[in-house]
Every structure is written in structure tokens, then in C-alpha cells.
Amino acid sequence: MEHNIDVVIIGAGTAGLYALSQVIQNRKSYLIVQNGELGTTCARVGCMPSKVLIQAAEDFHRRKAFEREGIEGAEGLSVDKEEVMEFVRELRDSFVERVHGNNDKRLKDHIIHGQAEFVKPGQLRVGEDTVNYGAVVISSGSTPVIPAAWQAFSDRIITTDTLFEMAELPDSMAVIGLGVIGLEIGQALARLDVAVTGIDMAEQIGGIEDPEIHQSVVDTLSREFPLWLGHAADVTAEATEQGEKLRVTAGENTVLVDNLLVSMGRKPNLTGMKLENLGIELDPQGVPLYNPNTMQCGDQPVFLAGDVSGDRPIMHEAGDEGRIAGVNAARGTVQAYRRKTPLAITFCDPNICTAGATWSELDQETTVVGQVNMAPVGRALIMTKNRGLIRVYGDKKSGKLLGASLFCIKGEHLAHLVAWCIQQGLTVFDLLKMPFYHPVIEEALQAALRDLATKVEDKPAGMLDIEKL
């Protein structure tokens, strides 16, 4: 068949569905090209099932505080790993079904399954179908990276695309790659009585740039499972009395494990699209160069959205990019949009968060830092969750809030507050005039802000935390 369509959307994940909503609002004809399962990465294999696993792990781990609180019997608790995975899949399936239920009507009669191949600008092919389009949104997502040398062990390699399908968790596992996913899942598995070893060839983990926060994270998480940093992993098969296992070696360290969880990043799903036929500029990885405020690739009606770009692989960013790409593709006139204040959360315990400018983006000559250690924070002590550190960054002269890095309980909430304040252009003095209740975790943020305020040059006269009438 031959189709003549206003807007083609390649990939019906989060970014693609948000783009679709804009196309529909602008009453344009549309076609979805989907190569793979429907249901979004977030619902199927990402944000949602991982948080179910993390919650189960945190609930089981909580038993270790019971004796201190006078609660007896914790030593009798155990975890059924098969039941845990069934629970994860049960909730996962409900999240996926919710996505399907919200979009089935919009996709019906508007979707082709298969690989999109660009023939020339304005035309692509899917199998035997030819599609002529006015604009196209590429939101095809990404796939976990597995080194070619490890393909021989593919039956023992797990990624987030396969983890949640496991009937039962293994007794031991090496987590290769300690980015956001590796830290979250590694800690969760360790708390579910899997013998976990975390390995990363880099010295820094979790994408953490602030050196003080990074050290606090390493010190804290290494109490729960060993972290081998600074050496690449080498993997070989080894026969044992318990059957074949994998020997993982990094530097002078070595361990035998049942499985590998490989979390070494994701590659964009662009293979086979023949983007070279579009005549747009590509980076060395074959990803189109694009404007992050319009999502447009060059000057053609081609738009990129979601983690296919590799720049901001976070769901709320994918949603924003989908909206921008969708409205620009539908209207034909390209409008630039201001991106929101950066916000990133790793759902370890404690949470690892950044808001606003990162450490490497700051001018150290014009920036001051306020901080508080979580150890003496009253509410955190009560919760037996008083590990970590909060660091806030401000302009040295004016006190304008620039960014923050947090490693603390309830960090997911504090990071939102900080990001909202940065987006509003507030100063540390504006924040200190806000109400802080007692005893709450927000008091830790208040203490870090007070420390920051003492280092700002242009302080208000007679500085107090309360305003004059």
C-alpha cells in the first residue's frame, strides 16, 4: 500500500505517545510505525517494574532496624524470591495494560508494525508499504548494550529488558556498570539476599559529579555489597561442583557468580532506518544532530524525541520532547521552547539526586557551596536513615540558587523543591523565608541553605529567616 500522511511517528513509547497527542490536537493525519512491543520502556522494563522490585527490597531490608526499635522476631523473616518476581510482574502488567487502555483507540487503524526505512526526504518504507509524509518524529527508543565478547554467555546475561521475566532470582550476580540502573537494581538485589558484586571500569559511579557526594555514596553502598571500581571486567565460564558458573575478574578482584546483570548503557534504536538517505547530519554514533529546544534535525521536517537521542534518558524529559516534537511536526512552523530545570533521581536508599547545574557546569570561582551531613538530622535519626549528605550551590555574590546534589532519605522530594526554586530564579534568602516544619527531613535542606547563606557576599542587612512587616 501507499500512504499519504501528515505526520509519521516512529516508536509508540512515552515520547511518541506525547507527540501523538499534539498531532491529534492539531487535527493532522498520522501513522505510527512500531518495531517491537507496545507498552513504553517505562512501564514494561524501566521506571515502574524496577520501583516495585526496589520497594519489596526496602521493605525486607527494614527488618534490620527492628531490634533497635524493640520489635522482636525479625530473625524469623525470609524472602521468597519467586513470589517477589511474581509481584513485580503483576504490577508491571497492570502498568502496561494502563498504557494500552489509554491509547488503543488512538492507535487502532493508525499503526504499522515493522522496521521503518527512509527512502528519501518525505518518504519511508515499512515492509511492502510506502509512506509519504509531511513530517516525521523519530522516537524509537533504545536497547541495552551487551559487549560482543560476552555473547557466548548470553544465556546467563541479564539486562533490564529481561530481568523482570526471571521466574526466580539467582543466588549470586555481578552487576557490570554502576550507573543509575546498576546502583538501583544492584542494591535491591543485595537486599533480597542475592550475593551481589558491583563492578565499573570508571572510578565514578551513578553519574555523580560532586566529589563529596560521590564519596558518601561509595562509603554507604559498599556497606551493602562490594564495589570494584577502576577496572574493566573480564568474564569466563568455569565448571564447579554446583554446575557451570561465570568467573568475573576486575583488577585483582575475582568472583564466581550465577549471572551477570549488564547495565553498561543503552544504544539508540536507529539500526536499519537508513538515515543517510535523509541528508541530515549525524554524530559519530549515527544519531541525528538536533536542536534541543525545537527537537528539529537540521532544517528538515524531521524531529527527534526521547531516549533515542541519548541526551536526557528520563521519562519526564521524553514527555516534554515528545510534546515539542509533536507540535512542531503538526503545525509546520517550528517554535523553540525553554527546557525545564534539569532534575535526576536515582532510587537507591538513600536517594541520589541532582537538580539544576551539575558540579562540572559550575564556575568554581563564582560559586559557593552549603552543605549538611545527615548523621545528626533528627527526623532521619528517628527513621534510622541518617546516612548521606546534602550540598547546595549558589552564586557567590547574589546567593541565587544554581543547583544541588543530594544523597539522603526522601531526596526525591527535596530535589523537586530545589528544582522548582531554581526554575523560579530564587535566591537562598528567598528559600530561607519559606516555612520549615519540625521535625521533618526538609530541615536538613534548611540547614544546608543556612550554611550557603553565610558564604554569600551580598547578604541582606540584619539577615533573618523571617521578613519584616
Asked whether residue 301 falls in the same domain as residue 240, the answer is no
How many whole angstroms separate alpha carbon 221 and alpha carbon 227?
8
Nearest Cα residue to 141 out of 166, 161, 157: 161
| Residue ending a domain, choose from 222, 240, 264 | 264
Residues 221 and 89 in one domain: no
The CA distance from 45 to 88, in Å, is: 11
- Residues 373-421 have pLDDT tens digits of 999 999 999 999 999 999 999 999 999 999 999 999 999 999 999 999 9
The mean pLDDT values, 10 residues at a time, for the chain of 469 residues are 96 95 96 89 90 97 95 95 96 90 84 96 96 97 93 93 94 97 97 98 96 98 98 94 93 97 95 95 94 96 95 92 98 96 97 98 98 97 97 98 98 98 97 96 97 93 69
Q: Tell me if 465 is assigned to some domain.
A: no
Strand partners, 250: 253
Asked, for residue 422, whether it belongs to a domain, the answer is: yes
Query: Do 406 and 359 lie in a common domain?
Result: yes
Residue type, 120: K
For residue 462, is it within any domain? Answer: no
Distance (Å, rounded) from C-alpha 357 to C-alpha 364? 12
Q: How far apart are the first and last CA of the chain?
A: 73
Please indicate, yes or no, if residue 464 is contained in any of the structural domains: no
Q: What's the domain range around 390?
A: 343-453
Please indicate, yes or no, whether residues 191 and 314 belong to a single structural domain of this protein: no
Helix, strand, coil shares, percent, the chain, to 5: 35, 25, 40
The pLDDT of residue 466 is 73
My answer on whether 168 and 65 are in the same domain is: no
**How far apart are the C-alpha atoms of 443 and 277, rounded to whole Å?**
57
The residue type at 65: A
Question: Edge-to-edge strand order for the sheet containing 243-250?
Answer: 234-240, 243-250, 253-257
Same domain, 64 and 189: no
Same domain assignment for residues 161 and 251 = yes
pLDDT of residue 6: 98
- φ/ψ region of 70 (left if φ > 0, alpha if ψ in -120 to 50, else beta) reads left
pLDDT reported for residue 462: 65
Cα–Cα distance measured from residue 314 to residue 159, given in angstroms and rounded to the nearest whole number: 18
Query: Is residue 469 situated within a structural domain?
Result: no
| Distances, alpha carbon 427 to alpha carbons 228, 264, 404, 431, 435, in Å | 40, 38, 13, 7, 15
Q: Could you tell me the CATH number of the domain that includes residue 231?
A: 3.50.50.60
In a domain, 463, yes or no: no
- Residue 397 backbone dihedrals phi, psi, to 5 degrees: -85, -50
Helix, strand, or coil (residue 343): strand
Q: At what angle do helices 14-25 and 81-107 cross, to 10 degrees?
A: 20
Q: How many domains does the chain contain in total?
A: 3
Chain centre to alpha carbon of residue 33 = 25
Q: Would you say the C-alpha torsion 147, 152, 158, 159 has a positive or negative sign?
A: positive
Looking up residue 361, the CATH number of its domain turns out to be 3.30.390.30
Domain shared by 277 and 234, yes or no: no
Residue 468 lies in a domain: no
In this structure, are 175 and 247 located in the same domain? yes
pLDDT of residue 463: 63
Q: Examine the fold and report which residue of 208, 242, 264 is the final residue of a domain before the chain moves on.
A: 264
Q: Are residues 52 and 121 in the same domain?
A: yes
| 169-179 per-residue burial string, b: 16 or more CB within 10 A, e: under 16 | bbebbbbbbbb
Q: Which residue has the cell 539544576?
A: 356
- Domain C-terminal end among 222, 246, 264: 264
Please give the pLDDT value at position 44.
Answer: 86
Q: What is the pLDDT of residue 102?
A: 80
111 and 173 in a single domain? The answer is no
Residue 366 and residue 278 share a domain: no
Return d(Cα 389, Cα 56) in angstroms, integer: 25
* pTM of the predicted protein model: 0.94
257 in a structural domain = yes
Of 254, 251, 256, 228, whose CA–CA distance to 241 is shortest? 256
